[in-house]
Amino acid sequence: MTRIGDFSTMETGNAQIDEQHRELFRLVSDLVDACRWEDDAEMLDEALDFLAVCSARHFASEEALQKKFDYPDLPRHKKLHDNFRRALDELRAKYATTNAISLKELSEQVHAIAARWLGGHIAREDAKVAAHIRRKLADA
């Protein structure tokens, strides 16, 4: 399996968020591997679709948690999620409609869009959310 980063350095301390992040990282790692070693276009389409569904479910859950704890930066955070969804949708459309990109290029783009984005987002943005939730719980 491809290693897309050391998740332990990105844990937010919020069990719900961290478990969902671990699942997303596993999916991205599997997808990057599939792009490198498989030539089954249908399987890759399904994997990209599955990543889109899982990330959308995670983002909705994370945004609901932010709303529950009155996270003040929720609108900006949601825009970051929307940007990820848009980039993933563009990649899925590019691959599904034209197959104009090679599996190597698809693997590189999946890694750039998903793995790097997720790692950076978790380390910077979701850590802020988790800290906010911890403060709110401590104040309660």
Average pLDDT over residues 54-79: 93
pLDDT at 64 over 90: yes
* 125 vs 33: which has the higher pLDDT: 125
Q: Environment class of residue 16 by beta-carbon count within 10 Å: exposed (0-12), middle (13-18) or buried (19+)?
A: middle
Q: What is the pLDDT of residue 112?
A: 77
Across residues 35-40, what is the average pLDDT?
A: 63
Cα separation, 139 vs 132, whole angstroms: 11
- pTM confidence score: 0.78
What's the confidence (pLDDT) of residue 41? 66
How confident is the model at residue 60, as a pLDDT? 93
What's the chain's average pLDDT? 79
